[in-house]
Amino acid sequence: MSAVRVLVNPRAAARAQPYPVALALDAEGFAVAAREISAWPGYAPTPLLELPALATALGLAELRYKDERGRFGLKSFKALGGAYAVRRVLSRQPRPVQDVTVTCATDGNHGRSVAWGAQLFGCRCVIFIHETVSEGRAAAIRRYGAEVRRVKGNYDDAVRHAADAAAKNGWHVVSDTSYEGYRDVPRDVMHGYGVMAGEILAQWPADRVPTHVFVQAGVGALAAALCASFWLHWRERRPRCVVVEPSRADCFYRSIEAGRPVAVHGDLDTVMAGLACGEVSALAWEVLATGADAVVAIDDAYALEAVRVLAAPRAGDPVVVAGETGGAGLAALLALQARPELRAQLALGGDSAVLLLGSEGDTDPEIYRRIVGRSADEVLAA
Ligand SMILES: Cc1ncc(COP(=O)(O)O)c(C=O)c1O
């Protein structure tokens, strides 16, 4: 049987507690990123889709899905972070851009964003991927002119390879993960993600707020950026922040349990490729240690079910093309559907208005076809 675990954060901030001013993510950083990114060619807000029939089936009042498939042609929200951080790195550089090389590790989407940013702004780019990153995702990165190097081990090993190569060659690491002594770039990445939160704030009906946001976490940069944005804007009315992880890469679950960052080792094998991370980002942890209200860890079967449910909607709901990682929030709701005792722990019920982050579309079209049995085009045409 597929498993789901829920952990309510014992250190979650009280509703009335203001956003801690000492945190690295701030309103100014979000505003600067929004001004810059919204001026890029091809910028348009992605849709916030309503799924009323699915909401009813799940016993919820409202369900809305922020669909990032159309983001700058890259098919994921990651387009906002990596490329923006490349821009910021270049703006801090005295050297001509064509002499600068940026690098990072990726499980697919972040590297695609960095490669796209490098191409857009004219610098060189080398991307490190680990053993199980699909060839489709590697090819998508090469299409933006980057060199792709595949290394042994898991995502965290690729992170170390990128750092070593950068130190040796004088390259710039544009990582979405922050660690001791490395904060500025991941901070830029997270402020870039805030663009999505800004759009949601404008798109959510003005007289209401969501009660819950279910947001998937790899290193936690996405979850922290949204958590901080909503805390800054909606303050004590902010939604409960529920972090979703794969059972086999549950570093936030374990960290929230322990009250400090705890790493998960091993191959971190999960179909939710974007979430196969064993170590939390230090900056993300600073926000989520008290900003996350709960963590849900789910087995892969729910992620696959979520992709299929979104591809074959109930009458009245739109068709949604989501990748295995993009559907993780819905996967958690599906996992909780028949577990009233776990729903109660999250205060999830008939009056809940839930926001899901559709963080990616069919970022690997072949994998998508294998899961759904049809291509994205066929699904959308049905
Ligand atoms: C599609 C998608 N969603 C969510 C995430 C998780 O983001 P983060 O690593 O910032 O937690 C990723 C990370 O690669 C991703 O690719």
Sequence spans of domains, the chain? 4-76+191-381, 82-175
Going residue by residue through the chain, which has 382 residues, state the pLDDT in tens, using 9 for 90 and above.
Answer: 679 999 999 999 999 999 999 999 999 999 999 999 999 999 999 999 999 999 999 999 999 999 999 999 999 999 999 999 999 999 999 999 999 999 999 988 899 999 999 999 999 999 999 998 999 999 999 999 999 999 999 888 998 999 999 999 999 999 999 988 999 999 999 999 999 999 999 999 999 999 999 999 999 999 999 999 999 999 999 999 999 999 999 999 999 999 999 999 987 889 999 999 899 999 999 999 999 999 999 999 999 999 999 999 999 999 999 999 999 999 999 999 999 999 999 999 999 999 999 999 999 999 999 999 999 999 999 8
Question: Is the Cα torsion angle 15, 261, 302, 306 positive or negative in sign?
Answer: positive
Ligand 1: does its nearest atom lie under 6 Å from the Cβ of 103? Answer: no
Ligand 1 mean position, distance from CA 367 (Å)? 17
- Nearest residue (by CA) to ligand 1, atom 14, is 274
Q: pTM here?
A: 0.96
353, amino acid identity: A
Instruction: Assign domain 4-76+191-381 one CATH number from 1.20.190.20, 3.40.50.1100, 3.20.20.10, 3.40.47.10.
Output: 3.40.50.1100
Asked if residues 92 and 70 have their Cβ atoms less than 8 Å apart, the reply is no
* Residue ID of nearest Cα to ligand 1 atom 15: 274
Nearest atom, ligand 1, residue 76 CA: 1
Q: Is 359 in the pocket of ligand 1 (CB under 6 A)?
A: yes
Report the sign of the C-alpha dihedral through residues 153, 156, 161, 164, in that order: negative
- 96 CA distance to ligand 1 middle (Å): 31
What is the amino acid identity at position 293? D
Residue of 25, 17, 71, 28 lying closest to 47 (CA atoms):
71
329 C-beta closer than 6 A to ligand 1 = no
CA of 349 from ligand 1 middle (Å) equals 27
CA distance 287 to 230: 12
Q: For residue 78, indicate whether it is catalytic.
A: yes
| Distance (Å, whole) CA 341 – CA 338 | 9
Pairing of strands 48-50, 62-67: antiparallel
- Ligand 1 centroid–CA 216 distance in Å is 7
Fold agreement (4-76+191-381, 82-175):
yes
Class for the domain spanning 82-175: alpha beta
> pLDDT at position 268, please?
84
230's enclosing H/E stretch is helix 221-234
